[in-house]
Structure formats: structure tokens, C-alpha cells
Amino acid sequence: MLNKSEQGLKIGVIGIPGKWSTEVLADRLEARTGFRAVMDMNDIELHLDTNKAFCNGLDLTKLDGLIVKKISQVYAPSTEDRIHILSHLESLGVSVFSPTNSMGKLINRLSGTLALQQGNIPMPKTRITESVDLAFNIVREFGSAILKPLYSTKARGMVFLRAEDSDESVLAQLEEYTKTQSLFYIQQALNLNGRDLGMVFVGGTYFCTYARVADSDAWNTTIHSGGRYEMFEPDEDLIELGCRAQACFDMSFTTVDIALTDQGPVVFEVSAFGGFKGALDGCNLDAAEAYADYALKIVRNKL
């Protein structure tokens, strides 16, 4: 229902036009304000000579805000260029959700990991090297390990190296990995008992937690690999861990990936954007509505 105090506010959504998470967020904003704009970063044109930015004829500098639901279909170094464009819009007075400096830290897996490390957040054992020989020694020390690309989502591009793999097989996979990656990000594989957690935060405030339960044939729990969502009720200590992890950044909306292991809970990562499906299917909560409410509140207070 249109809200008189919000009518006339213009908050656009940057995402993948036609994708559910992008469109549902635009739906929630339109229902509150009467304004709808869904944009693909590929269609944005920045005019540095006039300090203007356009998308399909819409002047983005005239908007009250932009919510970045998805900045690109896949993460890559070029994604950081898009962050710079949004940062310039931010400098011109357009509210960007999440702040570009925060998003930028999470596009690259290494920079996000280092921020968590500096925040004393428990994580799986993680090693970084450019050397194939050192990477081989790390994998053998860890037993089973996972190679993680610096730019990826939903476990895409990850390689699971098992303790029972032969030396020849491990070396061959490491050599193959160097064809697409310049650096090895190696994380010890832990026993997750087929489940990990997504803890959702809106504006730094705890919202809900859902579990991702792996398909019986998959080594990871992602929905992309056949996993499913379930409700999960965390205790206060676990929520406190999630709060500390997301506080390493300043995200308007994010999901903290947590696993319960034999050594205690560990954090895998904090999401640059976070999804709405887990909260809806796992907890029956409308995270898109909560995010729209948060952004509108910030924009109203700014006026």
C-alpha cells in the first residue's frame, strides 16, 4: 500500500532484470512509493564531464537511492570497476545500499577474509600462496581441502581435493587451477554434517537464520548444487558471532555463512549482497520487504 510519507521517493534497484530477487525487491519498493526502476549495470552510462549517470534515459543522480541487489551475474575483477562507478554516484549524494566501500571489500574473497581475520572471527584454516609446490604441501597438511576462486558465488569454480586423492591427481588439479587463477586460496574442508547456516541481517540488525541442507550426492550445501532450505533457531551465542562477523563491514543487507563443526562454529564468509529466498523458504519471512523498509527509512531521514 502506498505510504503518503514515501510517495515521490525514488529508489532504483540494480540487479538482473527478470530475476526473482531483483524483481521482488522492486515490487516492494513500488508498492510503498509508486516508483519502479530496475537496472542492469551494463546499461549505465557515466558522464564525468557533467557528473551525470544515465540508465535507459533515467538520470540516476535524480534518484533518492539505489539498492544494489546484484551487481553482476558472476563476480570478476571487472565487478570492482562497477563499484567505482557506484562510488561516484554516492559522492554525488545518491544513497547506495550497501555503501560501496563495504561492497567492495566483499567482491574479492581474499579482502573479505582478511577483514574477518582482523575482526578475530573464527574461520576454517585458510592459506594463501601463489606457489604450486606450497599449495600441494598445504593440501596434504589439511587432508581434504577446498580451492576457492577469489571471485565467485554459490560455490562456482571451487575444487574439492580429498585426502584419498593421489599425489599425482592433486598436483594435476593444482596445475589446472593455475590456468584460470593467479593465486591459491586454500581452506581446510570441515565436517559440516551436510548442513550450514545463512544468518540474515538488515541494517546490522539480526533478522533470521535458515539452514542449507546438502543433497546427498553434493559436497557443498548450495541450492545451486541441489541443497534445500530449512528453518533454524540459533542460540544467543551464535547470533552474537554472526553480529560480530557482519560488523566487520557496514552492510545494509547481508547473509553470514556459518557452519557448526566439531571444533565449534566457524564463519565462511559475509555476503556482498545476500539473497531473499532462504529467509522466505526457510523461515517464511519477507526479507525483501524488510530491506525496502530499511532503505526507505534511511532515505526519509536524510531528506
Q: What is the mean pLDDT of residues 3-14?
A: 84
CA 75 to CA 142: how far, in whole Å? 27
pLDDT at 174: 97
What end-to-end distance do the CA atoms of the chain give, in Å?
22
- 219 pLDDT higher than 60: no
Question: Where is average pLDDT lowest: 136-145, 200-209, 268-277?
Answer: 268-277
Q: What is the mean pLDDT of residues 74-87?
A: 88
Q: What is the mean pLDDT of residues 266-292?
A: 95
Distances (CA, A) of 98 to 39, 101, 252, 266: 16, 8, 5, 24
pLDDT at 2: 58
| Mean pLDDT for the chain overall | 92
pLDDT at 263: 85
The length of the chain in residues reads 303
Domains of the chain, each with CATH number or no CATH: 11-97 (3.40.50.20), 126-188 (3.30.1490.20), 191-283 (3.30.470.20)
Angle, nearest 10°, between helix axes 109-118 and 100-107? 110
CA 165 to CA 210: how far, in whole Å? 33
* Residue 66, phi then psi, degrees to nearest 5: -135, 130
Distance of CA 296 to the CA centre of its chain: 21
Concatenating the DSSP letter of every residue in 129-172 gives: ES-HHHHHHHHHHHSSEEE--SS-STTTT-EEE-TTS-HHHHHH
Q: What is the mean pLDDT of residues 6-18?
A: 92
8 A C-beta contact, residue 242 and residue 196 = no
- Residue 109 C-beta-side C-alpha neighbours within 13 Å: 26
- 3 pLDDT higher than 70: no
For 25-52, letters b (16+ CB in 10 Å) and e give bbbbbbebbebebbbbbeebeeeeeeee
The x, y and z cell numbers of residue 221, run together, are: 550445501
Q: How many Cβ atoms from other residues are within 10 Å of residue 151's Cβ?
A: 20
CA 94 to CA 287: how far, in whole Å? 23
pLDDT at 152: 80
pLDDT at 155: 75
8 A C-beta contact, residue 43 and residue 55 = yes
pLDDT at 166: 95
- 218 pLDDT higher than 60: no
Q: What is the mean pLDDT of residues 6-20?
A: 93
Q: What's the pLDDT tens digit per position in 107-122?
A: 999 999 999 999 999 9
Residue type, 208: C
